[in-house]
Amino acid sequence: MEDASLQAKNGSGPAEQNSVSATSRSGKAVRVIFVLVISAYFLDVIDASIVQVALPSIQRQFAVSTADLQWVYGAYALTIAGFLMLMGRAGDVYGQKRVFVAGLIIFTVSSFSGGLAPSLLALILFRGVQGIGAAMTTVTAFAIFIEVFPEGPQRNRAFGVLIAILSGGFAAGAVAGGFLTSLSGWRSVMFVNVPIGIVAVFLCQRFLPSTTGQAGNRHLDLPGALAVTTGTILFVYALTNAAGVGFSSEQTWLPLVLSVIALASFVAVESRSRSPLMPLSFVRRGSVITANTLALVLTSIVGGISFIITIYLQNILGYSAELAGLAVLPGALIFFVVGGWGSSRVLGRIGTRKTLLLSTALVTLGVLLLTPISTQGSYWGILPGMVVWALGASIGFPAVSIAAIAGTKHGEEGLASGVVNTSFRVGFPLGLAVLLTIAGAFDPQAGAVAGSAASAGLVVGFQYALFAGAVLGLVALAISLLMKDVKPPDDLNPQSFAQ
């Protein structure tokens, strides 16, 4: 950091300072920073899977309906999606480390408080605060990641390792959640985040370099932040309702209309602001808007199809929750191995654009292979589709992330991170809402009591939803054709962080 300050005094530009800070750190320092980045994402991923497993136990203790219970996860999803862009820009303005550490503290304290919650309402409130902390940590962690790993092979390898560890973390969270809930009750799944958070805060103070805001303008656009946060929260809220009651319900279309108004006002504010939260010129630069649109579509497919496969395995094929978890293990292993190590090799060999074309083609083919599902089907009938679909998604996510942050200027790391993370977060409820609405609309036995007729109707609805997922795959393929290839600079050949 002293070297960077000296160069600033000598008149070096921000780009030069960034290059020095990204390449002059020792291998040990880079590895520690990478562990901290992983810790932030790991807390978020493991929290999502570990809490879902504990939901039935929470429902029994507080004696609440399923509609009320969904907000244990819904409150978290709403706040993390709504605050990503604001916290990303706050990191640019006030310093990534400051926002990152504050987010870790908020996340850890709210997790502990949630474990002590005396009522469902208190738990939901603490989960909402926990989502704000997660937004602060994940978005600034990604911004720190962008700064530490320059564009090129090093960043590609790091992306792969990050995705592999997170994929393993999601599966580990599901297993750990079941074990902890059975052994110590649901409150233990909230407490498990506490020691991880405390250790991460300590490591940050010890190893993470102090940073100051790098944005050219130190003013945070509060009107724009309020508009985009409100619009995003309303949008995710509407999609969450749509998954249960459809798009025609007032509970869906009213917040949807209000979200459009709020997001339109955000665009108006940004076009007039002297220090916009998200400069419109940033969105138009390079592949930013195309990559973020692709991120939205890809995660929509993943969100909807994952839910359909889970319900099909348990409600149609009669699998237990534990057996259903084992059934999706091949897909998780593909994400772990191919996403972790194979994706960077594919990216390095054929480039970002061709990787995305291959990814979206495989995702589309995999979803099409799932469409023949039936009430008399078997696991082996859906396994090929699951494998092909997971293979495509595992190489696609690192590629679309790299495309979304390519060309990021110094001081824009948090902005780029906030935008792409928001696209990913919104995609999941969007895909779930759209595909479940289609499934319900084409279910000839909708509303029928449980039985063979109801199961057959559910499968018919799922088949139409899978066809819609394949259409989304073709849309993703078309977007990939518009993507400009992202080539790493020839003069960057950083030493591998793994060495």
- String of DSSP letters for 321-385: HHHHHHHTHHHHHHIIIIIIIIHHHHHHHHHHHHHHHHHHHHHHHHHHHHTT--TT--HHHHHHH
What confidence tier does 493 reach under pLDDT thresholds 50, 70, 90? very low
Structure confidence at residue 11 as a pLDDT band (50, 70, 90): very low
pLDDT tens digit sequence for 20-52 = 344 445 566 777 888 888 888 878 877 776 777
Is 203's pLDDT higher than 60?
Answer: yes
Query: Which alpha helices (H) appear in 153-273, and where do they start and end?
Result: 153-184, 187-191, 193-207, 222-245, 250-272
User: Dihedral of CA 476/478/483/485: which sign?
Assistant: positive
Range picked from 37-41, 283-287, 320-324 for highest mean pLDDT: 37-41
Q: Which of 185, 194, 186 is nearest to 133 (CA)?
A: 194
Please report the pLDDT score of residue 477 as a whole number: 95
Cβ count within 10 A of residue 322: 11
At residue 26, the pLDDT reads 58
- Among 210, 223, 315, residue whose Cα is nearest residue 266: 223
What CA–CA distance (Å, rounded) separates 97 from 90?
11
Q: Would you call 229 exposed, middle or buried from its count of C-beta atoms within 10 A (0-12, 13-18, 19+)?
A: buried
The per-residue pLDDT for 12 is: 40
Structure confidence at residue 78 (pLDDT): 82
Specify which of 155-159, 204-208, 282-286, 386-390 reaches the highest per-range mean pLDDT.
386-390
Give the percent of the chain with pLDDT over 90: 24
- The DSSP code for 275 is S
Distance from C-alpha of 306 to C-alpha of 53, rounded to nearest angstrom:
16
**Is 482's pLDDT higher than 50?**
yes
Listed residue (240, 207, 197) closest to 79, CA to CA: 240
Higher pLDDT, 251 or 53: 251
308 pLDDT above the threshold of 60: yes
| pLDDT tens for each residue of 69-93 | 778 877 888 888 888 888 888 888 8
Which residues, 6+ apart, have CB-to-CB distance to 173 below 8 Å? Answer: 45, 46, 47, 48, 49, 50, 53
Cα–Cα dist 135/233, whole Å:
13
CA distance 250 to 273: 34
Q: Decide if 198 contacts 207 (C-beta within 8 A).
A: no
The average pLDDT across 293-321 equals 84
Confidence band, pLDDT 50/70/90 cuts, at residue 143? confident
Residue 478 scores a pLDDT above 60: yes
CB-based contacts of 291: which residues, under 8 Å, 6+ apart?
Answer: 400, 403, 404, 406, 420, 483
The answer to whether 233 and 76 are in contact (CB under 8 A) is: no
**What tokens does 472 get?**
């989304």
Architecture of domain 279-487: Up-down Bundle (1.20)
Looking at domain 26-210, its CATH superfamily turns out to be MFS general substrate transporter like domains (1.20.1250.20)
CB environment 437-464: b (16+ within 10 A), e (fewer):
bbbbebbebeeeeeeeebbbbbbbbbbb
φ, ψ dihedrals at 192, nearest 5°? -65, -25
Is it the case that residue 281 has pLDDT exceeding 60?
A: yes
- Determine the pLDDT at residue 473: 95
Flag whether pLDDT at 486 surpasses 80.
Answer: no
Going by C-alpha positions, the residue among 117, 242, 106, 85 that lies closest to residue 189 is 117
Tokens of 286: 């390079």
What's the confidence (pLDDT) of residue 2? 37
pLDDT of residue 14: 40
Tokens standing for 443? 């279910």
- For residues 443 and 89, the model is more confident at 89
Reported as a pLDDT band with limits 50, 70 and 90, residue 177 is: low
DSSP state of 285: S
412 exposure class (CB count in 10 Å sphere: 0-12, 13-18, 19+) = buried
Nearest to 409 by CA among 147, 186, 201: 147
**Per-residue model confidence (pLDDT) at position 496:** 34
Tokens 């994402």 map to which residue?
Answer: 41
Would the pLDDT of 127 be above 90? yes
Looking at per-residue pLDDT, the higher value among 154 and 66 belongs to 154
Confidence (pLDDT) at 301: 92
Contact 472, 302 (CB under 8 A): no
Looking at the chain, the whole-number percentage of residues with pLDDT higher than 70 is 82
Query: For residue 306, is pLDDT > 90?
Result: no
Residue 287: partners with Cβ closer than 8 Å, 6 or more residues away: 403, 404, 406, 407, 483, 484, 486
**C-alpha to C-alpha distances, 189 to 70, 93, 165, 200, nearest whole angstrom:** 17, 34, 20, 18
Task: Determine the average pLDDT of the residues in 218-239.
Answer: 83
| Reported pTM | 0.75
The pLDDT score that the predictor gives to residue 66 is: 60
Mean pLDDT computed over every residue of the chain? 79
8 Å CB contact between 356 and 396:
yes
Are 384 and 480 contacting, i.e. CB atoms less than 8 angstroms apart? no
Q: Is the pLDDT of residue 474 over 90?
A: yes
Whole-angstrom distance, CA of residue 225 vs CA of residue 369? 43
Whole-number pLDDT of residue 25: 53
Residue 447 pLDDT more than 70? Answer: no
SS3 for 42-63 is: HHHHHHHHHHHHHHHHHHHHHC
For tokens 């824009």, what's the residue? 412
* CA atoms of 254 and 390, how far apart (whole Å): 35
Q: Please tell me the predicted confidence (pLDDT) of residue 174.
A: 64
Task: Answer yes or no: are the C-beta atoms of 301 and 472 closer than 8 Å.
Answer: yes
Q: Residue 324: what pLDDT? A: 72
Q: Which residue has the higher pLDDT, 440 or 361?
A: 361
The residue written with tokens 């070096």 in the block is 12
Query: Of residues 303 and 476, which shows the higher confidence score?
Result: 476
